[in-house]
Structure 1
Amino acid sequence: MLICQLSDLHIRPAGQRYQGVADSNRMLGDAVRHVQALDVRPDLVVLTGDLVDHGHPDEYAYARELLAALTIPYLVMPGNHDDRDRLRAAFADHAYLPATGPLHYCIDTYPVRLVALDSTVPGQHHGALDAAGLSWLKATLAQDTVKPTIVMLHHPPFVSGIPYMDAYRFLDAAPLAEVVGAFRNIEAVLCGHVHRPMFRRWAGTVVCACPSTTTEIALRLAPDAKPASFMGPPACMLHRWDPAEGLVSHISYIGDFEGPYDFY
């Protein structure tokens, strides 16, 4: 099974730019074309939050218009820039989304089970999961302790070392780690939010943070570092699961580069 992960699209109304600078709308179109042109067609695309920038209905309407060019099935989940109920309304035809409450769901129709957590806190930028969400996750994972499973949430549950991002991470990760760590069939935890590829061993599995299809957060590790971003490189993740080899994750950069040359 091949899963493509896109994250942090930050779609704006038609003709507007993300932060007044990045043409995030065009860059999503570039990302869709990139995914469609891969030499192996993904079975599924997962969008791990921040589909739009301000949670406005016109942003969601334009996101739907841009995503209509994607001929591969896709799943959505919210990030801190999304509005939970407006996202739910915009993707009302996505029957896996709960009709009320947080947008937790489980997709169990593929060789790999996908469990999505809504880590958003309305009105805030950090991530969290309440007792009810933890209970839902524990019960969902307990339904099958053998089948390969991927857990997805927007906020990374670890300290990255980038101070201005860590202030808005998943803040109390210990209870989540306790639940995830109790199950041995979790292939990976996928997240977004940080606009950079990051990897960490955590709770008996691996956490993989996906780059953004638009800007890249600057890698500034000094404690007093000022927030900054670069224009790219935009990228997506490709997660290849094989029954004999398990899960391998690749960064796939979006854009035109010299090559290919006949050497490696």
Structure 2
Amino acid sequence: MLLAQISDLHIGASGSEIERSSGSSGFLERAVRHLCHLEPRPDVVLCTGDLVHDGHPEEYARLAALLKPLPMPWFVIPGNHDDREHLRAAFGHLGYLPASGFLHYVVDRGPLRLIGLDTHVPGKPGGLLCTERLAWLDARLAEAPRKPTLVFMHHPPFRTGIHQMDAMGLEGADGLATVIGRHPQVERVLCGHLHRPIVKRFAGTVASTCPSTMLQVELDLGVPGRLSVLPEPPACQLHLWSEEAGLVSHLSYIDDFRRKA
């Protein structure tokens, strides 16, 4: 089974500042073409938050049009730039988002169980896993203790050394580690938010972040300062599952950087 992960799309309304400054919709168009032409083609696509930039309904309508060419199922969870209710209204018809409350859900897809987790806090850049959300996750993991499971969410549960991003990290990460530590079937915790590929051992498994389909956060491990984004190559991640090897993850650059004759 092959899963693609895209993150931090930041789609804006036509003519908006984010579109003028970053061209995020054009980047997503290229990402969708990239996924459609991969061989083998991914079985599902996970979109790990910051789907749009300001959380407006017209942005979600634009996002839906951009994702429409994907021939495989795609699953979304909110990031800090999203609006929970506008996202629900835009994509509720897909059948996997709950009708109320947090945007958590479970998808049993082939050999893997996929659990989408909502870390969104309205009006704040950081994320939260409160007691209620952690209890929901604990209960869902207890339902299928023998089935390999991927948890995907926006905010990563670890500090990175990029001070500006760590300042808008995940509250409740220790509680998440306690829950994940009780359930060894969790193969990976897949995240976004950081606009960089980062990997860390976490609670007996591995937590990782996906780069953005548009601009990347500058890799600055020095003293706290201004947050910068750079036109580094946009990328997605491909997570290949097999019974023999488990989950193996690859970075897939969206543009073709091979030298042309």
Pairwise TM-score range, normalised by the shorter structure: over 0.9
SS of the counterpart of 1:70?
A: coil
Matched residue type, 2:231: M
**Displacement of 1:52:** 0.1
Superposed structure 1 runs of 4+ greater than 3 Å apart:
none
1:181 maps to amino acid: G
TM-score, normalised relative to structure 1: 0.96
- Aligned positions of 1:206-245 closer than 5 A: 206-245=206-245
Residue in 1 that maps onto 2:161: 161
Q: Which residue of 2 aligns with 1:108?
A: 108
Q: Distance in 2 between matches of 1:110 and 1:87?
A: 26
Give the number of the structure whose residues are more often helix, by fraction: 2
Contact residue 3 and residue 42 of structure 2 kept, 8 A: yes
Aligned residues: 261
Aligned counterpart, 1:140: 140
Where does residue 200 of structure 2 map in the other structure? 200
Q: Which residue of 1 aligns with 2:2?
A: 2
> Any gaps of 5 or more consecutive residues in structure 2?
none
Shift of 1:102: 0.6
| Structure 1 residues 76 and 26, CA gap change in structure 2 (3 angstroms) | same
CA distance in 2, matches of 1:161, 1:113: 31
Q: How far apart, CA to CA, are the structure 1 residues paired with 2:16 and 2:181?
A: 43
For residue 128 of structure 2, give the secondary structure of its aligned residue in structure 1: coil
| CA deviation after TM superposition for structure 1 residue 232, in Å | 2.7
Q: Distance in 2 between matches of 1:162 and 1:243?
A: 35
Name the amino acid aligned to 1:242: S
SS at match of 1:93: helix
1:176 aligns with 2:173: no
Q: Which runs of 5+ in 1 are unaligned?
A: none
Contact residue 128 and residue 171 of structure 1 kept, 8 A: yes
- Separation (CA, whole Å) in 1 of partners of 2:133 and 2:260: 46
Residue aligned with 2:161, SS? coil
User: In the alignment, is the contact (CA less than 8 A) between 2:11 and 2:19 conserved in 1?
Assistant: no
Q: Is the 1:16–1:23 contact (alpha carbons within 8 Å) kept by the matching residues of 2?
A: no
Q: In the alignment, which residue of structure 1 is the partner of 2:38?
A: 38
Q: What is aligned with 2:76? A: 76
Q: Does 1:53 find its partner at 2:60? A: no
The residue identity in structure 2 corresponding to 1:232 is E
Displacement of 1:109: 3.2
Question: How well do the aligned residues superpose, as a CA RMSD in angstroms?
Answer: 1.3
Q: CA deviation at 1:190?
A: 0.1
Percent of pairs identical after alignment? 49
Q: Any conservation in 2 of the 1:17–1:24 contact (CA below 8 Å)?
A: no
Give TM-score scaled by structure 2 length. 0.97
Deviates more, 1:108-117 or 1:147-156: 108-117
Measure the CA separation in 2 of the matches of 1:88 and 1:111: 27
Cα distance in 1 for residues equivalent to 2:256 and 2:64:
25
Cα distance in 1, alignment partners of residues 17 and 4 from structure 2: 25
Query: What's the counterpart of residue 27 of structure 2?
Result: 27
Residue matched to 1:92: 92
Are the aligned partners of 2:7 and 2:211 in contact in 1 as well (CA < 8 Å)?
yes
SS at match of 1:108: strand
